[in-house]
């Protein structure tokens, strides 16, 4: 056995499971979707896990993502390609939210400036562990950037396809971090069709959202972190900007695992899936009482990260939202931009448009009495606001001319 095959730390993964049919699949082999064409979920031997580690032992470790290693799938430490996945802070924005009980989980501090790092650090480590050498992915920007960074770091080749109106900074960071990136005249699911075709021909491994099992495990750490940050009592409501829904599904899975471990109780936050009203397939399906969401035609919004017309995990998002007693909420672009503006000007925190969408949805929910001012609420800011266009600021001074100091 070559030395790199030694299993050097415990993992409690027992098997993979089809999220629709419950059919079991072996762990430790490369897997995409289930035979039913649905996402695979990673299952753990939680009894053994609970006997091996306590929540106090986890709390005594450094506060990064890897403190949760027993609840994560990577077996061999050498396969972890880290860029410094810190625990992200919870920040109050009392002036723009109108309540001191609203906290923003600021995911913009993660490597590559977005929470896509959580999913991709895990998926890339597992791809490395399972011998993948070439990966392709459709992206609206941030996922491609995180993939490029982590894959380049461990020598995996990447080919990335993005809609041709993807923010310029995303396309360039993907290219600079070592991927081959192509702009496609279509939306993210059109890019996904190209990736799927190449994968069917055996050209690469398909890293589309939820089409491999491990991104959810990385995103799950948002739920684990929240439990720890709130002292093992979850907040009353979570507002999550929902595209493919990986994070919402991942947090819901985290809460379930934590309850089975006896580390939290049975209370759950109400999960609010926030979408832009210009691309709101989950909102439409939620309101119609459907279990699956139809493709949203002519999707358009400033919040590029949630411009996802069709999600493979639609039924998992809808299930989690309904079980939690939450809702799927749509907000318009003007309300999104207003929220970004208010939070920056009044509370000094620069949100990304998707983060702005959660603040806009919270304000609307407050207005309609869907939430109360005294409830503890978490809004997700999923990327640094610095990656997005900002209003111009053109005021200038001629240092050779007289300066009117009273007017400054």
Collapse the DSSP code of 339 into the 3-class scheme (helix H, G, I; strand E, B; otherwise coil) and give the result.
Answer: helix
**Does 142 interact with ligand PLP (rule: CB under 6 A)?**
yes
Q: Which of 217, 383, 384, 385 binds ligand PLP (CB under 6 A)?
A: 383
**Does 170 interact with ligand PLP (rule: CB under 6 A)?**
no
Could you tell me the sign of the dihedral formed by the alpha carbons of 45, 256, 311, 167, in that order?
negative
Residue 375 burial class via C-beta count within 10 angstroms: exposed 0-12, middle 13-18, buried 19 and up? middle
In the bound state with ligand PLP, the residue whose beta carbon lies nearer, of 49 and 336, is 336
Using only C-alpha atoms, what is the Rg of the chain?
21
Q: Which of 111, 243, 330, 385 binds ligand PLP (CB under 6 A)?
A: 243
In the bound state with ligand PLP, the residue whose beta carbon lies nearer, of 46 and 121, is 121
Least distance to ligand PLP, CB of residue 192, Å: 13
Task: Count Cα atoms within 13 angstroms, Cβ side, for 80.
Answer: 18
Q: How many residues bind ligand PLP (CB under 6 A)?
A: 18
Rounded Cα gap, residues 360 and 368, in angstroms: 13
x-or-dash string of contact with ligand PLP, 92-131, rule CB under 6 A: ----------------------x-x---------------
Task: Count Cα atoms within 13 angstroms, Cβ side, for 205.
Answer: 25
Please choose, out of 2-10, 126-134, 169-177, 236-244, the segment that lies near ligand PLP by the rule CB under 6 A: 236-244
Rounded Cα gap, residues 371 and 172, in angstroms: 40
Q: Which of 242, 301, 324, 358 binds ligand PLP (CB under 6 A)?
A: 242
**Does 192 interact with ligand PLP (rule: CB under 6 A)?**
no
Please choose, out of 20-28, 71-79, 153-161, 243-251, the segment that lies near ligand PLP by the rule CB under 6 A: 243-251
Q: Which of 113, 305, 330, 385 binds ligand PLP (CB under 6 A)?
A: 305
Please choose, out of 15-23, 58-66, 98-106, 245-253, the segment that lies near ligand PLP by the rule CB under 6 A: 245-253
Count CB atoms within 10 A of the CB of residue 237: 25
Least distance to ligand PLP, CB of residue 59, Å: 26
Within the chain, what is the greatest distance between any pair of CA atoms?
79
Name 344's Cβ contacts closer than 8 Å, sequence gap at least 6: 350, 351, 385
Residue whose C-beta lies closest to ligand PLP: 305
Phi-psi group of 100: left, alpha or beta (phi > 0 → left; psi -120 to 50 → alpha; rest → beta): alpha
In the bound state with ligand PLP, the residue whose beta carbon lies nearer, of 235 and 244, is 244
Rounded Cα gap, residues 142 and 167, in angstroms: 10
Q: Say if CB 140 and CB 278 are below 8 A apart.
A: no
In the bound state with ligand PLP, the residue whose beta carbon lies nearer, of 11 and 301, is 301
**Does 354 interact with ligand PLP (rule: CB under 6 A)?**
yes
Residue 184 burial class via C-beta count within 10 angstroms: exposed 0-12, middle 13-18, buried 19 and up? middle
**Does 217 interact with ligand PLP (rule: CB under 6 A)?**
no
**Does 209 interact with ligand PLP (rule: CB under 6 A)?**
yes
Please choose, out of 186-194, 198-206, 241-249, 254-262, the segment that lies near ligand PLP by the rule CB under 6 A: 241-249
Least distance to ligand PLP, CB of residue 94, Å: 23
Q: What is the DSSP string of 8-43?
A: -S---EEEEEETTT--EE-SSS---S-TTS--EEEE
**Does 246 interact with ligand PLP (rule: CB under 6 A)?**
yes
Please choose, out of 25-33, 153-161, 226-234, 235-243, the segment that lies near ligand PLP by the rule CB under 6 A: 235-243
Beta strand pairing call for 13-18 and 40-44: antiparallel
Q: Which of 90, 382, 70, 85 is nearest to 257 (CA)?
A: 70
Which residue ranges make up the site for ligand PLP (CB under 6 A)?
A: 114, 116, 142-143, 209, 241-247, 305-306, 352, 354, 382-383
């Amino acid at each position: 056995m070559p030395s790199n095959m030694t299993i050097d730390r415990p993992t409690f993964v027992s098997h993979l499971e089809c999220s629709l049919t419950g059919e079991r699949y072996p762990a430790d082999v490369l897997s995409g979707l289930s035979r039913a064409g649905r996402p695979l979920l990673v299952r753990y031997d939680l009894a053994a896990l609970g006997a091996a580690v306590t929540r106090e032992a986890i709390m005594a470790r450094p506060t990064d993502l890897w403190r949760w290693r027993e609840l994560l799938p990577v077996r061999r430490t050498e396969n972890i390609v880290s860029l410094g996945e810190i625990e992200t802070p919870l920040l109050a924005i009392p002036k723009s939210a109108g309540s001191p009980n609203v906290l923003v989980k600021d995911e913009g501090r993660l490597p590559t400036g977005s929470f896509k790092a959580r999913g991709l650090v895990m998926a890339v480590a597992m791809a490395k562990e399972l011998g993948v050498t070439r990966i392709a992915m459709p992206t609206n920007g941030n996922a491609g950037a995180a993939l490029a960074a982590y894959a380049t770091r461990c020598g995996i080749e990447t080919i990335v396809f993005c809609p041709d109106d993807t923010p310029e900074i995303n396309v360039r960071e993907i290219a600079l971090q070592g991927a081959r990136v192509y702009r496609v005249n279509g939306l993210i699911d059109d890019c996904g069709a190209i990736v799927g075709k190449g994968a069917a021909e055996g050209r690469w491994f398909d890293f589309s959202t939820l089409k491999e099992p491990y991104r959810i495990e990385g995103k799950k750490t948002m739920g684990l972190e929240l439990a720890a940050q709130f002292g093992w009592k979850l907040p009353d409501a979570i507002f999550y900007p929902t595209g493919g829904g990986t994070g919402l599904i991942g947090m819901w899975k985290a809460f379930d695992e934590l309850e089975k471990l006896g580390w939290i109780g049975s209370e759950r936050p109400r999960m609010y899936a926030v979408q832009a009203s210009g691309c709101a397939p989950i909102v439409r399906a939620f309101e119609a009482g459907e279990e699956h969401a139809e493709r949203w035609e002519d999707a358009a919004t400033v919040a590029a990260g949630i411009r996802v017309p069709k999600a493979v995990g639609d039924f998992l998002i809808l299930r989690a939202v309904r079980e939690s007693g939450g809702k799927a909420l749509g907000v318009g672009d003007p309300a999104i931009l207003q929220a970004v503006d208010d939070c920056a000007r009044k509370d000094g925190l620069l949100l990304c448009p998707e983060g702005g969408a959660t603040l806009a949805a919270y304000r609307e929910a407050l207005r309609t009495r869907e939430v109360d001012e005294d409830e503890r609420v978490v809004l997700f800011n999923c990327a640094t606001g610095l990656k997005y266009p900002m209003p111009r600021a053109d005021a200038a001074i001629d240092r050779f001319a007289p300066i009117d100091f009273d007017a400054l």
